Structure 1
């Protein structure tokens, strides 16, 4: 709904998802929804697909103690880019909130198809080539022949990166949420890549969480509530309304809580326009990114807009 509203309020910019949680939706519904938006705003809609919703069994195993979280290692720096140790999600795996969300988002007894199969179904429905094994065809209108650009979002070097590469689709690597695996993700994608009609060579987007202000000190102050918000996401409560700076200053942190959010906080790019732009260029260089996606999460929307304005001005200044 938000994509459609933004598309209706704009004329030139591309709009899209980053990404649809495909474990909670069927291919025909997804193609029809995005096909409808494309019919109204042709040629500028991106359909980003993510594997979220397909991994219930992994969280169940963590909660039961069957599967162990990836062993923590020391942070490392690769050519100036911080690669933190992976986060331990065993704390959230057994939370009542996660069980509730899982129950609400998927119909009882429903099983999500394999991610690769779903991507192939979506592609075939858009291209108008979908057939069952007995030759029965399916046609989704609107949706068929829509000018949608397909993307795959991935947080590791696993199935999402492989599927994106093998299908010759552009790939978005998730540094701002899963920074520990960004290099493995882009490497796995490039290794699996096969040229397609849509894409003759690998194309990588890498995300980063940024907060820009006129100076480093102001940026750090504005960004200070971020850690508390991430903690709420990861400790099993579910995301709280974004805290104020006063909320952040009043919070009493434990060592366990700090460890739970360290990878996200340490890889947030916070500072003056030059500080953040320099770190983004490092991210681009080390990952070989063709595009960067930046997101800014702060309490005051005016600060968010100003952050984007300052970064755009600095990024477009000749070096």
Structure 2
């Protein structure tokens, strides 16, 4: 029996031909099933302006999931604090922690800040030289993906405009994180010495996490502050080893953690056989293409619909790092690969995200994996 916990990351995917209502109800149902299967925590992602993803308001969904479960830890993976205030985040999640004590995780990401920085970097620099894929102790580390085309998309500019007040600039992530932690502790003061108290929020047992895709600020802050850290192999497989290494190098013990705690994510599809799993996962490439083209995630196609979509060599190159690092197969096949991911990253926990067109196939994938992982 493996001692490494498995957890769930859910985007509330909207299936092609389905509705947002279907997606949200599927999320609540999957969470209840995941608790029965023995998963440790259930996180909701935050995505905006995508027809194929319904998780744009994670705090609202977390309340629904928490009310439908009893022991599962529930949280965000992650709140994009670049277009929020520290107080609004603490009050929202403090409300959840007051209603569901001992069960709420506040995962924070610097997506808003990173969007602005990345756009500036792309405008000011030449494309990076091509890199080669490598294999580290059996784990594929693909070349990094360039987001230049996504950042140049008019839809990226529209998204940024709608997520921020006119003229607003995202504050420094470190400053915003410091405000969140101070408000939770109850010792927040401004530059003039005035105090402020978040109600709800202050004094709750909310657990703060940082999520990151590189060895940059999020990983380093999580380590320096002694917070748990989640690294994104499923979003940015090229830099997962850099992320966990930077976190561990920066780690200092805290009142929260005596030693580093790392969660690593993975995209997974499990079915009874390798062939059946490959069929269910076939729409994943076109779905990722829709994101990386800058148009936003499309409703997740069925295998038949995916087979009818046009596909070129350029499309394949656009999504190769994500498709090649998706763990697809029978329970035994996927479990073996996940154990490699765990061992190479020294992960304390794995965060599994699974998208299929049919909800029943998604539930089955999580159930098959949980059973094999236990056995």
Measured in 1, the distance between the counterparts of 2:270 and 2:71 equals 25
Does 106-115 or 181-190 show the bigger shift?
A: 106-115
When normalised by structure 1's length, the TM-score is: 0.97
Contact 1:76–1:82 (CA under 8 A) maintained in structure 2: yes
Structure 2 partner of 1:199: 257
Structure 2 partner of 1:270: 328
Find the partner of 2:70 among 1, 11, 19.
Answer: 11
Contact 1:62–1:69 (CA under 8 A) maintained in structure 2: no
Contact 1:62–1:90 (CA under 8 A) maintained in structure 2: no
Shift of 1:91: 1.1
Structure 1 partner of 2:214: 156
Q: Bigger relative contact order, structure 1 or 2, given CA contacts below 8 A and separation 6+?
A: 2
CA separation of 1:63 and 1:180: change in aligned 2, threshold 3 A: closer
Measured in 1, the distance between the counterparts of 2:117 and 2:128 equals 12
- Map 1:172-187 to 2 at 5 A: 172-187=230-245
Moved over 4 A (4+): none
Stretches of structure 1 lacking an aligned partner (at least 5 in a row): none
Shift of 1:223: 0.3
Measured in 1, the distance between the counterparts of 2:212 and 2:206 equals 19
Structure 2 partner of 1:115: 173
Shift of 1:108: 0.8
C-alpha distance after superposition, 1:223-251 (max 9, x if no partner): 00000000000001111111111221112
Instruction: Give the 3-state SS of the residue equivalent to 2:112 in structure 1.
Output: coil
Instruction: Give the 3-state SS of the residue equivalent to 2:218 in structure 1.
Output: helix
Structure 2 partner of 1:96: 154
Structure 1 partner of 2:43: none
Measured in 2, the distance between the counterparts of 1:138 and 1:86 equals 43
Structure 2 partner of 1:56: 115
Measured in 2, the distance between the counterparts of 1:160 and 1:151 equals 10
Measured in 2, the distance between the counterparts of 1:210 and 1:180 equals 17
Shift of 1:69: 4.2
C-alpha distance after superposition, 1:163-203 (max 9, x if no partner): 10111000000000000000000000000111100011110
Stretches of structure 2 lacking an aligned partner (at least 5 in a row): 1-59
Instruction: Give the 3-state SS of the residue equivalent to 1:139 in structure 2.
Output: coil
Structure 2 partner of 1:27: 86
Instruction: Give the 3-state SS of the residue equivalent to 2:111 in structure 1.
Output: coil
Measured in 1, the distance between the counterparts of 2:238 and 2:338 equals 16
Shift of 1:72: 2.6
Structure 1 partner of 2:298: 240
Instruction: Give the 3-state SS of the residue equivalent to 1:119 in structure 2.
Output: helix
Number of aligned residues: 316
C-alpha distance after superposition, 1:32-54 (max 9, x if no partner): 00000111111100000001010
Contact 1:152–1:170 (CA under 8 A) maintained in structure 2: yes
Find the partner of 2:104 among 45, 56, 78.
Answer: 45
Q: Does 1:71 align with 2:126?
A: no
Measured in 2, the distance between the counterparts of 1:19 and 1:69 equals 29
C-alpha distance after superposition, 1:258-283 (max 9, x if no partner): 11100100000000000000000000
Measured in 2, the distance between the counterparts of 1:148 and 1:234 equals 34
Does 89-98 or 214-223 show the bigger shift?
A: 89-98
When normalised by structure 2's length, the TM-score is: 0.83
Contact 1:205–1:292 (CA under 8 A) maintained in structure 2: yes
Measured in 2, the distance between the counterparts of 1:131 and 1:22 equals 20
Structure 1 partner of 2:39: none
Q: Does 1:221 align with 2:243?
A: no
Contact 1:58–1:67 (CA under 8 A) maintained in structure 2: no
Q: Does 1:231 align with 2:286?
A: no
CA separation of 1:262 and 1:157: change in aligned 2, threshold 3 A: same
Measured in 1, the distance between the counterparts of 2:146 and 2:122 equals 12
Measured in 2, the distance between the counterparts of 1:56 and 1:108 equals 16
